[in-house]
Structure 1
Amino acid sequence: MKSSPYLLLKWLGLAAALAVVLWIATTLAAQGHWLAVTVTAFVGLCILAIYATKRAVPMKYLFPGMLALLALQIWPMLFTVAMAFTNYGDGHLDTKEVAVQQIVANSVEEVPGSERYRASVAVKEGTDLTTGDLSLLLVDTKDEAFVGTKDGLEPLTTPIEQNPAGKITQAQGFTVLNAGQANARSADLSNFAVPTADGGGIKMQGLSTAFEGRTTITYDAATDQLTDTRTGKTFAPQDGRYVATDGSGEAFSQGWLQNVGFQNFATILTDETLRTQFLRMFVWNVAFAAGTVVLTFGLGMLIALLFNEPTMRFRGLYRSLLILPYAIPTFVTALLWKGMFNQDYGLINSITGLSVDWLGNTWAAMAAVMITNLWLGFPYMFVVCTGALQAIPGDVKEAARIDGASGVQMLLRITMPLLLVAVGPLLIASYGFNFNNFSLIFLLTEGGPFVGGAQVGGTDLLITYAYRLAFSGAAPNYGLAAAVSIIIFALVALMSLPGFRATKKLEEIS
C-alpha cells in the first residue's frame, strides 16, 4: 500500500492535469472551437479513468506517449494532408462570409457632414487581446456613449471612464487596447466597420477617431454578387475570389478558403515552368542526399578503421577532436562556412589563391553545400562506425587470418558486411534527414543562387521550396506547399523501401 505522501502527490498531479485540461477547454470554447473542446474533454476523461484507478497499469505508461504521438505526429500529418486539397494561403484564410464583410467594410467612405466619434478600440473582457472580436467604444458630439460591434451600434450603458479629451479609457465588461495593442491589430481594424441602420458603416480613422460613412460596395445575397455603387460594376464568386462579371479580370484581394481537390498537385505536374524546375530540383535533392550519405559514411568509416588499430597511441584524444564538428550547433557551423566561402574575403579563396564565386555560381554553390555537409556529417558516421567495428567478434577476424585472407579481403568480405548490418538502417535514416535538410541550405545559400529571376534556386531542396511557397513572396500559398510536402513524404518513403529490404537481407549475414 502506498504511503500517504505519495498518494497525496498523485492526486495533486491528477488535479493539476485536469485543471490544465479545463483551462484549455474553456479557452477553446470561448473561441468557438467546439470540436477541439470535445477532443480536449475526451482526453481529460481518459486521464481521470486511467490514473484515478488501479486498473490499466500498462496504459498509465503508454498514454503519455500515445498522446504525444497524436498531438505531434498524427495531427500535423492529417492537417497537412487536408490543407493540400485547399487554396489555403494569403487572401484565402477565412470563410466566404468573412471575406464579404471585409470587402464591404473596406469600401466605407466618409460622407461630408457625417457624424464623427471619439473612439477607443476594445475587446470583450476575458477575450484574447490579439484574436478577440473587436469593438469600438464611441462618444459622439453630444457626449453620448455607444459600443459598435460587427452586429451593429448600441448605446453603452455600463459604467465608463473618459480622459480629458472625452475618449473612453475604461468600460465595464470591456478591455480597452492601448496604442501598441491597437496598432498590432491594424490589419483587423482596416477590415472592420460597424454596420449602421442606413446601410453605411462606422470606421476607425487613426487610433482615436472614427467616422460614419457609406459603403460603396453592396452585397446581394440572392444573386451572391457584389456591386460597386460608383461604377455599377458587378462581381461574382470565382475560384475563391469575387471577380468582375464583365471579364475585365479585376478581383478583390480578399478571398475565402475552399476545397480545390487535386488542383495543387495538378499545378506541380502541369505548370510548365514549375514542372521543369521541380524535376531539376528533385534530381539535385536526390544527388545531395545520396552524395552526402556516401561521402560522410566513406570518410567516417575510413577514419574509424584507422583509429580501430589497438596499437595506435592517443586514440582517445584523436577521437575526441574528430567529433568536435558534430558537437557544434549546425547553425553556427553553417554561418562560419558561409563566411569562409565568401568570394572576396573568404578564407578558402584566400588560402587557395582562387577567385571562385562559391555562393553565386550554381555548381560552385552545390560543391560548397556538399563540403559543408561533409564536415558536419562525418563525425556522426565516425562514431557509429567506431561502435560497430568494436562490436565485430575478434574470433571471426582471427579465423579469416588463419584461412589466409588478405587485409583487403577481410575488409570487403567480413568487416563491411558486418558493419552494414549495424549501420544500414542509420544510413537510410541519414538519407531521409538530408533529403529534408532545411537548416543547412537555408543558412548557407538560402536555396540560391537564383539565376535570371528563377523561382527555384540552384541549391533549393524540395523542403526549402515548400517553405518559400508557404512563408515567402507576395502571396504565400500554404495549400501548394502542403502538396509539395506530401510529395516529399511519398518520395522519401518509396526511396527508403528498397534500402530497408536490402538491410533485411544483410541481417542474414549475422
Structure 2
Amino acid sequence: MTDTHPRGIVVKIAVLGLALALAVYAAFPLAGAHAWGWLAVLVVVTGLIFAIYLSPRPVPAKYLVPGVLFLLAFQVIPVLYTVATAFTNYGDGHRGTKQDAITAIQSSSVRQVPGSAEYALSVALDDGGLKFLLLASDGKAYAGDAQGLHELAAGAVTVTGGRITAADGYQLLDLGQATQRNDEVLAFTVPTPDGAIRASGLTRAYTGQATRFYDAGCDCVTDRGSGAQWFADERTGEFVGSGGSAGGEHLAQGWKVNVGLHNFARVVTDPRIAGPFLKSLVWNLAFAVGSVLVTFALGLACALALHTDRLRGRNIYRVLLVLPYAMPSFAMLLVWRDLFNQDFGLINRVTGLHVDWFGTPWTARLAVIGVQLWLGYPYMFLVATGALQAIPREMAEAASIDGASAAQRFRRVTLPLLLVALTPLLISSFAFNFNNFNAIYLTTDGAPFPPGNSSIGATDLLITYTYRLAFGGSGAQFGFAAAMSVYIFAIVAVISVIGFRRSRKQEEVYT
C-alpha cells in the first residue's frame, strides 16, 4: 500500500530532504579528513535510503531501515571502534600520525634566536579553534594555525595602534579573554620551515628556531646543541634515545600505531594490574549481585504489602515509595556521601555512632550497597507491582483451596511466575550495576585505598579502576582503557547469556 496523500508526500519530501542535508553536512568533514572509506559508506547508505523510500512498492525495509541505522550508529559502530582502539597505543602523546609527532617535537623545541622576526600578536578564534593574527614590521598581516602561516589580504584586516583589531572570518579575543586562555596561547605554535612562531606574552610573537629537527635519512630526531639522537620505533610509535644522555629516553610526542594484543596481554601479565583486576572483579560481582538481590527483595516486599484491595490509600503509598526513583541519582549520591560522613553526617549523629563509614573496606562496601538499596528498590517495586497484577488470582485461590499456606503459595506459585516475567529485568539490572560508575565515583571514589597504592580501592568496580588506571596521573591511555572495556564487556556478556538461557528454561517449565 502506497501513501499518495499530499500530506504523506510532503512528510516524505521533508524527511528525505533532512537525510540529504545531514549526509552533505557529514561529507565535507570526512572528505577533509581523507576518510574515503567512511565517505563511501555515507554515499551508499544515503543512496539506499532514497532508493527504498522513493520506491512505489510496499518494501518491508521501509520499516526496518530507521531501527537498523540507529542500531548501527549508537551500538555497533561504537563497539567496533572501541575494539579497534584496543589494538592501538592511542592516548596522550600518541594521538596523531608520525608527521604530527615530528611537527610537535620541532615546535615544542623552538627557542628565540638573535635576529628572529617579531610580530604584533592578536589572538583570535574561528571554526577551527585558536588562531594567531600577526602583523609584521613591514605591515603585512598573517593568520597562523597548526598548519602554518597564511598571508591575509590588506582589505580583510583592520589595524589600530600597530595591532590587528578586526579580521574577516575571525573572532578576536580582547585582552581579558586572552588572559583566561593564557596557557593555551603560550603553548600554541605555528610551524615554519625551520622552526615555529610562538607567543611572547599576549601581544607579541616571534619566529624561533627548533633546537631539535627530524632527519629522514636516519629516521631520527637530533638535538642541535648536544647532538643527542632519538630513533623512530615503529612498534611502539615513539622516538627512543640511543646512547649518550638520551640513551633509553622516550620523547613525549609519539604517534598512533597498531600494537596487536599488547594491551590485552598487559591486563593479565602485568602483576601490578592483574592482581588488583581480579580482586576488583570479585567485589564487582558481589556488588552487582548484592545490589540486585537487596533492591529486588525490598521492592517485592513493598509490592506485596500494597497488593491488596483492602488497603486504603494505596496510590499515595505507591507515590511515596517511588520518590527516590524520581530524583536525580547523581545529586542523591552526593547527598548520601555527606550523610555517611564520620564527623557531621546525619547517620552517625542520629544513631549516636562514630563509624568511619568510608575508612574501612567492609563499612564502605556496606554503605554503597545501602545507597544502592535506597536508589534501586523503587524500580523493582514498580516492575514487581506490574507483574503481580498480571498473575491471575485464581491460581492463588486454587492453591489455598488445596490447603497451601500463605508462605507456600508465595514460594510455589507467586514467586516462580514473577521470576518468569522479571528475570530478564534482573539480568539487565545486574549488567547496569556491574558498570555503575556513578554509584562508586560519586560516593567513595573507590576509597578506602591501601597504604602506598592509590590506583585501586576497596570499593572500586572494574569500570572505576579502568578509569583511574587509564586516565590517571600518567595521562590518558585510550587504547589500554578500550582493552579493559572489552574484558568487562565479555564478562557481562557471558553472565547475561547464561542468565537468559536459565530464564528460558524456567519459562518453559512454568508456561
Could you list the per-position Cα deviations for residues 360-379 of structure 1 after superposition, in whole angstroms to 9, with x for gaps in the alignment?
A: 22211111100010111112
1:194 corresponds in structure 2 to 191
TM-score of the pair, normalised by structure 2: 0.90
CA distance 1:274–1:188, change in 2 (3 Å): farther
Could you list the per-position Cα deviations for residues 87-110 of structure 1 after superposition, in whole angstroms to 9, with x for gaps in the alignment?
A: 111111111110011101111211
Matches within 5 A, 1:457-468: 457-468=457-468
2:478 corresponds in structure 1 to 478
Secondary structure of 1:380 counterpart: helix
Kept in 2, the 8 Å contact 1:158–1:171? The answer is no
Are 1:178 and 2:166 counterparts?
no
* Residue 226 of structure 2, aligned match among 228, 231, 236: 231
1:209 corresponds in structure 2 to 204
AA aligned opposite 1:96: K
Residue range with higher mean Cα deviation, 497-506 or 74-83: 497-506
2:285 corresponds in structure 1 to 286
2:137 corresponds in structure 1 to 141
- Within 2, Cα distance between the matches of 1:154 and 1:290? 61
CA distance 1:105–1:332, change in 2 (3 Å): closer
Give the CA deviation at 1:176: 5.9
Residue range with higher mean Cα deviation, 319-328 or 476-485: 319-328
- Within 2, Cα distance between the matches of 1:58 and 1:177? 54
Matches within 5 A, 1:356-505: 356-452=355-451, 453-505=453-505
- Within 2, Cα distance between the matches of 1:466 and 1:360? 22
CA distance 1:194–1:394, change in 2 (3 Å): closer
Are 1:53 and 2:55 counterparts?
yes
Give the CA deviation at 1:482: 0.7
AA aligned opposite 2:189: F
2:163 corresponds in structure 1 to 167
Matches within 5 A, 1:7-18: 7-18=9-20
AA aligned opposite 1:488: I
Kept in 1, the 8 Å contact 2:188–2:199? The answer is no
Matches within 5 A, 1:97-136: 97-120=99-122, 128-130=127-129
Kept in 2, the 8 Å contact 1:169–1:176? The answer is no
CA distance 1:58–1:153, change in 2 (3 Å): closer
- Within 2, Cα distance between the matches of 1:340 and 1:148? 53
Query: Percent of aligned pairs with the same residue?
Result: 46
Give the CA deviation at 1:411: 1.9
Kept in 2, the 8 Å contact 1:129–1:181? The answer is no
Kept in 2, the 8 Å contact 1:102–1:191? The answer is no
Kept in 2, the 8 Å contact 1:84–1:483? The answer is yes
AA aligned opposite 2:485: S
Secondary structure of 1:457 counterpart: coil
- Within 1, Cα distance between the matches of 2:292 and 2:45? 42
Kept in 2, the 8 Å contact 1:120–1:176? The answer is no
- Within 2, Cα distance between the matches of 1:185 and 1:6? 55
How many residues are matched?
501
AA aligned opposite 1:224: D
- Within 1, Cα distance between the matches of 2:148 and 2:398? 91
Kept in 2, the 8 Å contact 1:200–1:212? The answer is yes
Secondary structure of 1:254 counterpart: coil
Secondary structure of 1:163 counterpart: strand
AA aligned opposite 1:163: V
Q: Mind listing any 5+ residue stretches in structure 2 that lack a counterpart?
A: none
Secondary structure of 1:242 counterpart: strand
1:219 corresponds in structure 2 to 214
* Residue 243 of structure 1, aligned match among 233, 237, 240: 240
- Within 2, Cα distance between the matches of 1:152 and 1:76? 33
Secondary structure of 1:459 counterpart: coil
1:83 corresponds in structure 2 to 85
Matches within 5 A, 1:262-273: 262-273=261-272
Give the CA deviation at 1:67: 1.2
- Within 2, Cα distance between the matches of 1:374 and 1:8? 51
Kept in 2, the 8 Å contact 1:237–1:243? The answer is yes
Give the CA deviation at 1:130: 2.0
AA aligned opposite 2:498: P
Kept in 2, the 8 Å contact 1:224–1:237? The answer is yes
Could you list the per-position Cα deviations for residues 377-416 of structure 1 after superposition, in whole angstroms to 9, with x for gaps in the alignment?
A: 1122122222222222222222222222222222222222
2:258 corresponds in structure 1 to 259
- Within 2, Cα distance between the matches of 1:353 and 1:152? 67
2:300 corresponds in structure 1 to 301
Secondary structure of 1:280 counterpart: helix
Q: Mind listing any 5+ residue stretches in structure 1 that lack a counterpart?
A: none
Kept in 2, the 8 Å contact 1:326–1:380? The answer is yes
Are 1:68 and 2:52 counterparts?
no
- Within 1, Cα distance between the matches of 2:185 and 2:92? 14
Secondary structure of 2:344 counterpart: coil
Kept in 2, the 8 Å contact 1:268–1:275? The answer is yes
- Within 1, Cα distance between the matches of 2:396 and 2:461? 43
- Within 2, Cα distance between the matches of 1:189 and 1:53? 58
AA aligned opposite 1:509: Y
Give the CA deviation at 1:461: 0.7
Give the CA deviation at 1:111: 1.2
Secondary structure of 1:428 counterpart: helix
